[in-house]
Structure 1
């Protein structure tokens, strides 16, 4: 698989064009961060690719047109974890994570052969072993977020789409999540995450899509896109570069 290619992708909410003719590639084997100010279209773009909202234009994973896929085929290909998880239900954490295997079921009522290993990996990745019997209604916001991300991991799609996946996570689980996503990319998956923290992209990313007012303002390697000129132009505030005490990649601070 070569990743997800989009060509002139637009999303309309009534007469308002929320995403404006975006073209680009989310490469396989890479972690791409989608950045941009509030209201720039990050969430809407991911919803379009995930099949949650209709779009104009074309989006394809290799030769597979995303708009033509059945629900089951899309579920095997693409997994998406959205914002503001609502899990006020009596299902347990273990049951919710196992629901990620639904697209892979071979017959009604039964799990597929890879379910047990996939669920175990997801539970381990999101540090949920101590929560498996807990009803979703008793979870904190961060625990709910980790549970839904684990569901997508258990789904084992070729394409991971994550919308603000770390917004409710503590520092330990935040770092753990992005280290895991890097491993997924190293295994050949296509991974895209919309975030507000520019330095997550600077530290963990391979590629960046920078959105502004619904359009793709810049795209490319992290070091090509995260520049003082681009950041200041998109966010409307000056930025200065710095390096952490550990060295490594260039980080950014708004001033």
Structure 2
């Protein structure tokens, strides 16, 4: 099976167990949103899948055991956008994006597609005019776009994104999720955490909902995003409302199309 499968996954840091006995599948060819209250384990899950934390249990990427991957193999397969990137050195935006190509380089192997991949990533995140700016000189949203572009340039099979639109304006957030939908349509695995339930309703094919370090619910978005499920996880009453979702031309996007059921807490 392509995608990510986890079995009996337990992980944490600082002597604390955060994730407890998680089993499930993040399918290829789909955008899966990871939802849940603050402290429920969303970021820890993505960090563990991305290789930043030790764990017990099993993680498989497209039938390959994650523990068997070399750093270079993992770098070619998995791209990670963290919530708070620590890269504060005065690299230019162009240099930061180019770092995404490191897993594709070696002394014996040329990175034939590198320039094209970097150019595409820069264009996707609308960073052409910022290529020569240094990272510390950017706004929070511009820096977030640069780190996303780095992962786009990496051309991974799996995208793991921790609240990737938290600092983005509505225009760039929409462009990002449209891009992720295209990646899923090409067969990539996309998993993104979010606090906005309606992002999952509009852009997600599947949803995982975390609560207290455990997987509280998982499945197709329309099957999981129910008032009783949301209320049991978040502790608030959720009521649905409907609207016709269209793009800026007034036409329902083909990838989502038509009426959406959205949710608000009351």
Normalising by structure 1, report the TM-score: 0.96
Q: Distance in 1 between matches of 2:167 and 2:88?
A: 16
Normalising by structure 2, report the TM-score: 0.92
Any runs of at least 4 consecutive aligned residues in structure 1 with deviations exceeding 4 A, and if so which? none
How far has the Cα of 1:68 moved from its partner? Answer: 1.9
Residues 87 and 144 in structure 1, CA contact (< 8 A), matched pair in contact too: no
Aligned residue for 2:238? Answer: 239
Is 1:16 aligned to residue 16 of structure 2? yes
Equivalent residues in 2 for 1:212-223 (5 A)? 212-223=211-222
Structure 2: which 5+ runs fail to align?
246-257
Secondary structure in structure 1 of the residue aligned to 2:99: helix
Q: Distance in 2 between matches of 1:13 and 1:74?
A: 21
Equivalent residues in 2 for 1:49-68 (5 A)? 49-68=49-68
Change (3 A) 1:111 1:135: farther
Deviation per CA, 1:17-61: give whole Å up to 9, x if none.
200110000100000000000000000000001000011100001
Change (3 A) 1:252 1:157: same
Aligned residue for 1:178? Answer: 177
Residues 218 and 225 in structure 1, CA contact (< 8 A), matched pair in contact too: yes
Residues 244 and 260 in structure 2, CA contact (< 8 A), matched pair in contact too: no
Structure 1: which 5+ runs fail to align?
none
How far has the Cα of 1:14 moved from its partner? Answer: 4.6
Q: Which deviates more, 157-166 or 240-249?
A: 240-249
Q: RMSD between aligned alpha carbons?
A: 1.3
Q: Distance in 2 between matches of 1:85 and 1:75?
A: 17
Aligned residue for 1:253? Answer: 264
Deviation per CA, 1:123-171: give whole Å up to 9, x if none.
1111111100101110000000000000001000100000010000001
Q: Distance in 1 between matches of 2:264 and 2:127?
A: 33
Equivalent residues in 2 for 1:85-234 (5 A)? 85-107=85-107, 112-234=111-233
- The size of the alignment, in residue pairs, is 254
Change (3 A) 1:248 1:111: farther
How far has the Cα of 1:245 moved from its partner? Answer: 4.7
Residues 36 and 211 in structure 1, CA contact (< 8 A), matched pair in contact too: yes
Q: Distance in 2 between matches of 1:95 and 1:56?
A: 36
